[in-house]
Amino acid sequence: MFNKLNLKQVIFWLAIAALFTPFLVNRATYFPFIITKATVFRVIVELMLVIWVFWLIKEKKTLPKLTPLTKAVLIYGLVIFISALLGINFMWSFFSGNERMEGVFGIWHFILFFIILATTFDWREIERILKIQVFISLFYSFIALLAYFGVGQITAQMTSNRLAGYTGNPSYFATYLMFNAFFALYFYFQQYRLDKKIFNYWFIIFVIQSLLMFVTGTRGVMMGYFAAMLIIFFGIIILLKDKDYLLLKKLVSIVLLIGVIVTVSIFSLKNTAFVHNNFALNRLTSISLKDPTAVSRMLSAGIAWKSFVEKSLFGWGPENYETVYIKNFNPKIVKYLPEDFYFDRTHNKPMEVLATTGIFGFISYIAIFIFVFWFILKNYKKDPHWFLPSLTISAFIIGYFVQNIFIFDFHESYLMFFLVLAFISSLYNSQKLEENQNIIKVSGPLSVILNYSVLVIVSGLVIYSSIFGIIKPYLTSRNIFYTNYYMKKGQGEKALFLLRRNTKTANFFTGDVVTGFRKGYLDAMFSLNDSDKEKLISEIVNFIDKTKTNKFWFYQANLAKVDLEAIASQWDTSKITVAEQDAEEILATTPYFPTSHLLAAKIYYLNDNMNDAIKESQKTIELNPQMATSYYILYLSYGRLNNIEESNKNLVEAARFHYVFSDKQVVLKAVNLLVQEKDYSTIAELYLSAIQLEPNDVSLYVSLAATYGKLHNKDKAIEYAQKAAELNPTLKQASEDFIQLIKNEEWDKIQD
């Protein structure tokens, strides 16, 4: 069978299959946009690895001489592994978590993908893969547009109402588009070299991808894209001397001039309705070093620098930025981003590399880019006709580096970047590959034994890695989802069965199991009976008690741990003391995090410590005045102390900041207080929340119709008046009379 099988062709099609992994989204997993892509990609790469080794043996090849670029990538992979060993949490550095699925383990799969491609195919074969990738990206973009308009399993609501497609994040999608736009531009210039035709279909693809990238409104990627385009424009205008390209130079000069005029015009009109009402233009013109997002990321980079100085050789270990972020936290970040102050990434790739892998990691990372440009320059000197393609590759690598100053890498960007690296390395390596030069020449029986021993060892490692490093984590993610799913359905026994599976096999995803369960439980607690609640909470808290503290080192896991201990105190009163101690430990390490103070306030309230609950709630409001739960805790705490005036005042504030109430009577109490202030917008929200709690209460629909009448919202007032009559036909005449008032705009006749 294998004698007839073209193993190189199998590797080729497996590489193509890997390029389809960005399409993989499984909503029945924890972090559905991440885990399935990473899982399938890793399985494909490990299968490629076994076939690649067998191909080398079958074709009696050894690896061609490694290019300096390949060596640089391998050194970077080795350095991040050493950094993980010397860091503060090896398991987390190595495997990462469901939200990122990166770590040393993840990056090494991309490195293997790169090595296999770069040492198996020549540059023309990888160029073919790149062409296929461009068309894959076109299809991906089409699917993203359908998703944005509500077609398919992914909707715009799942991606912050921005164009993001199956990446789940507009920034990720924009980066993916930027790569593919420049791939298309590369092929445009390759075609232009041959026929000197200004327009071809590659140019159309480039324009489509560029426009979609712009529509995402991702400012960091826009900056990287514009930097790359300026390099290409000036490179063509200044450096291109061949007379055959005179027409192209003129057209590029005109496009550059028009681009400058349009850009200046847009920025000069940035305060007009035209720009404000266009999402992409508004995002573009809001680029500023004073923007809260920009300031917070500069502060985060400052934290990374401080952390690097403290541990400068090999850093704190990959994935461990969160630890140093907390340790060296700058309170100004909360001022600029009160809601999104928590970073587990620097949002600046070079600075994150510096902080987490130290100077050795940073040098080896930068060396990859240095060798890329050296290879491109060397290739250009060998063949000056390659000027335009070489310029394009150089420009978009710079553009990628620029945009990474504002974000970080992820599955789609790693996939594209290592594909490009394989192409660039193959340009250098093609002659050696074609000559079939071996590094080591071993013949006879010893050669067969050594070769097949290597194959057996590699196959064994792949089987072990696939089961314990890939499949088990994926099953853990599935079990987190289905535990929450069955809780929401009120099927406590099924949820408990899956939870027990996870608590027995969580391994390095312990934190994800706890945070995932907490989220699901809080969403589903009203669907479960008391017996199932107690069993589920007992199971997860027993798991927490038996787990070493370092498994909960990341912030969200610690918050979840304390929350669950507090919930467990309903059945075991000793747990509230444990929760209070743990909350105080979190507070000591994160004194500037409003969420830490809010957690402490909640625990103090549950432990009947009203004064400290009030103190911590007030501190939360001081750090973030928009956290509704802090006002609600003040409402409860002052109520316990019989300070009715302060209690009512904070209930009103909780309502105004959209607190999700679970008691209809409390909602109606807030309504009565807000009627005095005629805050009908908030009252309408409250009635809507009350209807969710008791959808058959006709009086709520009547009151909501009247409230919308007070807001002069005819459509909504009529809609809820009609719903009230549908629920209670005896109200039909009253409903019709009310609707007539609304149609006549007799607003003053509507009672509060």
Q: What is the pLDDT of residues 223-266, one digit of tens each?
A: 999 999 999 999 999 988 877 788 888 999 999 999 899 988 88
Q: What is the C-alpha separation between 376 and 380, in angstroms, rounded?
A: 6
Nearest to 516 by CA among 546, 561, 471: 561
Nearest to 334 by CA among 77, 626, 642: 626
DSSP single-letter state for residue 64: P
Q: What is the pLDDT of residues 474-524, one digit of tens each?
A: 999 999 999 999 999 999 999 999 999 999 887 778 889 999 999 999 999
Residue 100's SS3 state is coil
Q: Mean of the per-residue pLDDT values for the chain?
A: 89
Which whole-number Å values give the CA distances from 736 to 40, 604, 752, in the listed order?
A: 59, 51, 18
* pLDDT for the residue 174: 96
Task: Give the residue ranges of DSSP H helices in 472-529.
Answer: 472-488, 492-505, 510-524
Q: What is the dihedral of CA 317, 319, 321, 327, to 10 degrees?
A: -80
- CA 416 from chain center: how many Å? 17
Per the listing, tokens 């902080």 go with 355
Mean per-residue pLDDT, 97-111: 94
Which whole-number Å values give the CA distances from 450 to 1, 441, 453, 456, in the listed order?
A: 23, 12, 5, 10
Q: Give domain limits for the chain.
A: 673-752
Q: Which two tokens stand for residue 529?
A: 């009976």
Q: What is the C-alpha separation between 14 and 48, in angstroms, rounded?
A: 7
Which whole-number Å values give the CA distances from 693 to 364, 488, 523, 660, 684, in the listed order?
A: 57, 15, 14, 11, 15
Nearest to 711 by CA among 750, 656, 661, 660: 750
CA atoms within 13 A on the CB side of 291: 14
430 pLDDT higher than 90: no
Q: Which amino acid is at 355?
A: A
Where residue 437 falls among pLDDT bands split at 50, 70, 90? Answer: very low
Do 633 and 606 form a contact (C-beta atoms < 8 A)?
no
Residue 627's SS3 state is coil
Q: What is the pLDDT of residues 172-195, one digit of tens each?
A: 999 999 999 999 999 999 998 888
Top-confidence range, 146-160, 273-287, 370-384, 468-482:
468-482
pTM summary value: 0.91
DSSP single-letter state for residue 287: -
* pLDDT for the residue 434: 43
Q: What is the C-alpha separation between 616 and 618, in angstroms, rounded?
A: 5
Q: Using CB atoms within 10 A of its CB, is residue 306 exposed (0-12), middle (13-18) or buried (19+)? A: middle
64 pLDDT higher than 70: no
Q: Which two tokens stand for residue 116?
A: 């296999």
Q: What is the C-alpha separation between 470 and 465, in angstroms, rounded?
A: 7
The dihedral of CA 576, 581, 586, 592: what is its sign? positive
* Residue range 673-752, CATH number: 1.25.40.10
Q: Which amino acid is at 467?
A: I
Which stretch of 340-354, 432-446, 589-603, 719-733 has the lowest confidence by average pLDDT?
A: 432-446
Counting residues of the chain whose pLDDT is more than 70, the rounded percentage is 95
Q: What is the C-alpha separation between 639 and 145, in angstroms, rounded?
A: 51
Contacts of 79 (CB under 8 A, 6+ apart): 314, 357, 360, 361, 364
* pLDDT for the residue 549: 67
Q: What is the pLDDT of residues 285-329, one digit of tens each?
A: 888 888 888 899 899 999 999 999 999 999 999 999 998 999 999
DSSP single-letter state for residue 641: T
Q: What is the C-alpha separation between 699 and 687, in angstroms, rounded?
A: 10
Do 710 and 752 form a contact (C-beta atoms < 8 A)?
yes
Q: What is the C-alpha separation between 129 and 42, in angstroms, rounded?
A: 19
Where residue 436 falls among pLDDT bands split at 50, 70, 90? Answer: very low
Q: Which two tokens stand for residue 751?
A: 């009672």
Q: What is the C-alpha separation between 86 and 98, in angstroms, rounded?
A: 23
